[in-house]
Chain A
């Protein structure tokens, strides 16, 4: 009997458990709140995704294992800055021609390095600059690089194609595929859309305009700007622009088009906002912006990407630029608030 009692006592001790923390929070939708990635995560100073500094202009976006950005060719002897410009604005006169560059991911971080030129202006309509790259990967693995060329007052949309995001891009056609386009983003139409195919959203006159295409090469503009409901934040939104689209499938299997964009508030602040839709026509917005950074006047050019593998699977990363009063341009990444341990790949 005593032996049996001892056995039970020993077994009882063997089940003593460690106290664990309460389960952590779970964020999945991309609505936010987002936080800035830190230096350990990106492997770049101050948590930047690419240490391109003042050379990069406009959108920075990620496709596959590559980051794409428009980078200015440094001038040997730049002229003095136009002091009439706002402190946070770029002075185009100080920049050389813009071209699309690509950098590879520096595993195991979420930063990028090793820049190389993938596209330069060589068509008549393109002028000297190519900017605002947007890469869409097709189901067969091919990558289409949409870009804006032409003078600042007459921007137009061009497209190039490669076997993959890391391949050599070849321009398709000699003419632009859409006129008067700023900050374009192209995405496959969500499953709930009335017309299948592709959607291009771009900025025009402080609004976002939609264009539709069956092949992603020939687009037809919608007659009216996208009807985005207002959010609940103060001060009021005066204009929107710089859209970045993401087609996400929820855990329940619903395909949701998430359109991130810059929201321009009445007090001059530039923050990032979100609108979501099942059909690409009726959009819903959260009450608050998704990213608003302290000490930053302008948060711009949101380019979302959804991790679909590894420990960060299902996490929305929102690449963007930040321009502070000091004038430095930062290419940054923000992600949903969650612990860094869950995001970094295992060593």
Chain B
């Protein structure tokens, strides 16, 4: 209980909830293949994202390793947007412990992209960009969770996910000789950078009012990452031994590099037949708080005194971010799971999922070009469980796999201006994804039960 209280205290101190990579990729093959409609009964490591309460449902120690792959094929005006494919490694851990008749559990989930830990860039307002696909999924995802099951019909859980904002400072100072810039100039540079840590909470509850019906409620907090780059230069401009002027440059660019809106998910799982599970979830996503991904910049360039041969511009592009104008969305999810084979040694589940995500982005009629569209996602999965493995494994080994197909509805953006330099846009696209995971579950020893 103390551990849970400690976890809840950490949530209060967390800086801000939706980790964005899993929103696009899903977490864990079973949950992903069920369209994410698992908030009421998830119990594997993906519970760290879908509902931390589910971590305490089982009593077996679970370890999982898997791979995932996502290939967006998005187009603007019939031309490929050349978005990068994403692949990575997933790791999961669920460690339960039963103490005085109460189940406790700790969980960990990691998605590690192959290419990089994170990718980010600020947006240029009028340059078309798939805002939710451009850099958003290209990040490591790390989430932990703790849960308790005080009574058989109720589980409670909470967790934290982590992201890393960055600040980079480039300091340039010294002397610049106009006569012999290569030989006589003396300039030194210093680069300083820091990558911080931002935590954001997940919390949830699962209840079982009936044997065949389970309900779940999950809250995912908001995460906002800002990146900041500061360049400051201070140089004496000389000509030989003569000091001419003092050149100073200050550039401060701060941009929102990742925003995950807070979410509230209500889920239900119904088992009308022993071999059939039907899951339905509805997620409220608070997109309207999304800050602008356009960098706020301050650029100051001065030359004191001014030199007649050098004319500096009055303004060098300092700008303020443009509001995005997003609206909140409700995302319905449906997942079906059927037990196709059920023997003493082998179980085989077939899974089907569907998600409809209406885009929070308005049509881009002004000078902004942040592109997105309503999306239908269909998933298909298989889960193979080998249950008669003693004495090698006291528990079971499972292999879960999924295929994902998302269709983005064609969307037309008609510009208010006929001389807009980007012009009308028609977007279209689809996304393919796949993943496979091997997991091992070690049942607790008889004496601990």
A residues neighboring B (CB under 8 Å): 1, 4-5, 8, 11-12, 15-17, 19-29, 31-33, 250-252, 254, 256, 274-278, 284-286, 314
Find out whether the CB atom of B418 lies under 8 angstroms from the CB atom of A256. Answer: yes
Find out whether the CB atom of B82 lies under 8 angstroms from the CB atom of A20. Answer: yes
Chain A binder among B63-71, B284-292, B333-341, B349-357: B63-71
B438 at the interface (CB under 8 A from A): yes
Would you give 27 A-B contacts (Cβ < 8 Å), ordered by A?
A1-B392, A1-B393, A4-B399, A12-B67, A16-B114, A16-B115, A21-B82, A23-B82, A24-B82, A26-B79, A27-B421, A28-B424, A29-B420, A31-B421, A31-B423, A250-B414, A251-B412, A251-B423, A252-B413, A252-B414, A252-B425, A254-B414, A274-B419, A276-B418, A278-B418, A284-B419, A285-B419
- Contacts A31-B421, A250-B423, A254-B424 known; A23 to B81 CB distance under 8 Å? yes
Find out whether the CB atom of B421 lies under 8 angstroms from the CB atom of A314. Answer: no
Measured in the bound complex, the distance between the Cα atoms of B425 and A256 in whole Å is 14
What's the least CB distance linking A15 to chain B, in Å? 4
What's the least CB distance linking A342 to chain B, in Å? 9
Measured in the bound complex, the distance between the Cα atoms of B127 and A89 in whole Å is 40
Q: Which residues of B sit under 8 angstroms from A286, Cβ to Cβ?
A: 419, 421
What's the least CB distance linking A236 to chain B, in Å? 19
Find out whether the CB atom of A15 lies under 8 angstroms from the CB atom of B69. Answer: yes
Find out whether the CB atom of A27 lies under 8 angstroms from the CB atom of B422. Answer: yes
Find out whether the CB atom of B423 lies under 8 angstroms from the CB atom of A28. Answer: yes
- Contacts A26-B128, A29-B423, A251-B77 known; A11 to B418 CB distance under 8 Å? no
Find out whether the CB atom of A252 lies under 8 angstroms from the CB atom of B426. Answer: yes
Find out whether the CB atom of A23 lies under 8 angstroms from the CB atom of B129. Answer: yes
Number of B interface residues at 8 Å Cβ cutoff, please give it: 44
Q: Which residues of A sit under 8 angstroms from B413, Cβ to Cβ?
A: 252
Measured in the bound complex, the distance between the Cα atoms of B121 and A21 in whole Å is 12
Q: Which residues of B sit under 8 angstroms from A11, Cβ to Cβ?
A: 67, 436
Closest to A252 in B: B424
Chain A binder among B85-93, B149-157, B317-325: B85-93
6 smallest CB-CB distances across A and B, nearest first, come from A29-B423, A252-B424, A15-B87, A250-B424, A276-B418, A286-B419
Which residue of B66, B69, B116, B420 contacts A8 across the interface (Cβ within 8 Å)?
Answer: B66
Which residue of A24, A26, A254, A278 contacts B422 across the interface (Cβ within 8 Å)?
Answer: A26
B83 at the interface (CB under 8 A from A): yes
Q: Which residues of B sit under 8 angstroms from A285, Cβ to Cβ?
A: 419
SS class, residues of chain B in contact with chain A = loop
Find out whether the CB atom of A17 lies under 8 angstroms from the CB atom of B419. Answer: no
Measured in the bound complex, the distance between the Cα atoms of B381 and A189 in whole Å is 56
Which residue of B87, B418, B424 contacts A17 across the interface (Cβ within 8 Å)?
Answer: B87
B296 at the interface (CB under 8 A from A): no
Q: Which residues of A sit under 8 angstroms from B89, Cβ to Cβ?
A: 12
Further 18 A-B residue pairs, CB within 8 A, beyond A20-B82, A25-B127, A28-B422: A1-B397, A5-B438, A11-B436, A12-B114, A16-B114, A16-B115, A17-B115, A22-B121, A23-B82, A26-B77, A26-B127, A28-B425, A31-B419, A32-B421, A256-B418, A275-B419, A276-B418, A277-B418
Q: Which of B87, B89, B129, B424 has the most CB of A within 10 A?
A: B424
Find out whether the CB atom of A29 lies under 8 angstroms from the CB atom of B421. Answer: yes
B76 at the interface (CB under 8 A from A): yes
B443 at the interface (CB under 8 A from A): no
Find out whether the CB atom of B69 lies under 8 angstroms from the CB atom of A284. Answer: no
What's the least CB distance linking A253 to chain B, in Å? 8
What's the least CB distance linking B80 to chain A, in Å? 9
Measured in the bound complex, the distance between the Cα atoms of B82 and A31 in whole Å is 24
Measured in the bound complex, the distance between the Cα atoms of B419 and A256 in whole Å is 10
B84 at the interface (CB under 8 A from A): yes
Q: Which of A19, A23, A314 has the most CB of B within 10 A?
A: A23
Q: Which residues of A sit under 8 angstroms from B116, Cβ to Cβ?
A: 19
Closest to B421 in A: A31
Closest to B138 in A: A19
Q: Which residues of A sit under 8 angstroms from B88, Cβ to Cβ?
A: 15
Find out whether the CB atom of A8 lies under 8 angstroms from the CB atom of B423. Answer: no
Q: Which residues of A sit under 8 angstroms from B392, Cβ to Cβ?
A: 1
Closest to B88 in A: A15
Find out whether the CB atom of A31 lies under 8 angstroms from the CB atom of B414. Answer: no
Measured in the bound complex, the distance between the Cα atoms of B418 and A274 in whole Å is 11
Measured in the bound complex, the distance between the Cα atoms of B116 and A278 in whole Å is 47
Q: Which residues of A sit under 8 angstroms from B77, Cβ to Cβ?
A: 26, 28, 251, 314
Measured in the bound complex, the distance between the Cα atoms of B82 and A22 in whole Å is 8
Closest to B80 in A: A23
Could you mark each residue 387-404 of chain B with 1 if its beta carbon is under 8 Å from any beta carbon of chain A, else 0?
000001100010100000
B167 at the interface (CB under 8 A from A): no
Measured in the bound complex, the distance between the Cα atoms of B426 and A285 in whole Å is 23
B166 at the interface (CB under 8 A from A): no
Closest to A249 in B: B424
Measured in the bound complex, the distance between the Cα atoms of B419 and A254 in whole Å is 13
Measured in the bound complex, the distance between the Cα atoms of B81 and A275 in whole Å is 29
What's the least CB distance linking A137 to chain B, in Å? 23
Q: Which residues of A sit under 8 angstroms from B66, Cβ to Cβ?
A: 8
Measured in the bound complex, the distance between the Cα atoms of B83 and A314 in whole Å is 21
Measured in the bound complex, the distance between the Cα atoms of B9 and A83 in whole Å is 89
Measured in the bound complex, the distance between the Cα atoms of B67 and A192 in whole Å is 54
Measured in the bound complex, the distance between the Cα atoms of B134 and A284 in whole Å is 33
Could you mark each residue 413-437 of chain B with 1 if its beta carbon is under 8 Å from any beta carbon of chain A, else 0?
1100111111111100000000010
Which residue of A8, A16, A256 contacts B87 across the interface (Cβ within 8 Å)?
Answer: A16
Find out whether the CB atom of A20 lies under 8 angstroms from the CB atom of B425. Answer: no
Closest to A231 in B: B419
Q: Which residues of B sit under 8 angstroms from A1, Cβ to Cβ?
A: 392-393, 397
Closest to B76 in A: A26
Find out whether the CB atom of B67 lies under 8 angstroms from the CB atom of A15. Answer: yes
Measured in the bound complex, the distance between the Cα atoms of B114 and A19 in whole Å is 10
Which residue of A23, A27, A28, A33 contacts B83 across the interface (Cβ within 8 Å)?
Answer: A23
Closest to A277 in B: B418
Q: Which residues of A sit under 8 angstroms from B134, Cβ to Cβ?
A: 22-23
Measured in the bound complex, the distance between the Cα atoms of B435 and A125 in whole Å is 78
Find out whether the CB atom of A8 lies under 8 angstroms from the CB atom of B436. Answer: yes
Measured in the bound complex, the distance between the Cα atoms of B29 and A6 in whole Å is 19
What's the least CB distance linking B258 to chain A, in Å? 16
Q: Which of B31-84 contact A (CB under 8 A)?
A: 65-67, 69, 76-79, 81-84
Measured in the bound complex, the distance between the Cα atoms of B88 and A20 in whole Å is 16
- Contacts A1-B392, A8-B66, A15-B114 known; A251 to B425 CB distance under 8 Å? yes
Measured in the bound complex, the distance between the Cα atoms of B89 and A63 in whole Å is 55
